[in-house]
Amino acid sequence: PAHILGIRAAQQAFPELPQVAVFDTAFHQTMPPHAYQYAIPSTLYTRYGVRRYGAHGTSYRFVAQETAAFLQRDINDMSMIIAHLGNGASITAVKNGCSQDTSMGLTPLEGLVMGTRCGDIDPSIFSFLASNANMSIEQITEMLNKESGLLGLSDLSNDCRTLEEAAANGHKGAILALEVFAYRLAKYVGAMMVACGSLDALVFT
């Protein structure tokens, strides 16, 4: 919705100016079916498009090209794992310049621990919290997206600068949040090795 507001504002201000949409999911369209399909009834994919789409694609395309140039290698003969780390975080396996797998899914909630997003979680948490905490689907979705991740674990902040300072001063929540963040990332690096098959570069942004 925020992007659409921007598009409409630009149309009003510059009616003759062409606009180009660059989709964050486009880079991941090279993922094979075994990487993007969920293990759910296939009709949900064919009817509703329920699959893994990924995000941060414009970043990954740029970083992959820059990595190859920096290493003076042919991008079409390289395997790399790129970790896009920030308040929104993901990781992608790139082989021969193409995305092979990525951590985000149908939405940006899947995958790594992020600033306020939980990342991978048991889907049954919805029914559990609905039954035990009397929370609605909307409330749980809001909590998993905006009150979880580093913020939820630390009970302090979603900003790594704040957490690193607090951890250095012995704040247990900050220490745990950073440890979970790093552990989940390390597990995903190992998982992306499967998608790459080999590794020429491990890149952090």
Active site residues: 24
* Nearest of 189, 202, 196, 200 to residue 103 by alpha carbon: 189
Cα–Cα distance measured from residue 34 to residue 173, given in angstroms and rounded to the nearest whole number = 37
- Alpha-carbon distances of 41 from 11, 50, 99, rounded to whole Å: 41, 10, 25
DSSP result, 164-188: HHHHHTT-HHHHHHHHHHHHHHHHH
Angstrom distance (rounded) from CA 22 to CA 189? 27
Where are the alpha helices (H) located in the chain, listed in sequence order?
A: 2-13, 33-36, 43-48, 57-71, 125-132, 137-146, 149-154, 160-168, 172-196
Three-class secondary structure of residue 86 per DSSP: coil
List the structure tokens of 76: 């079409």
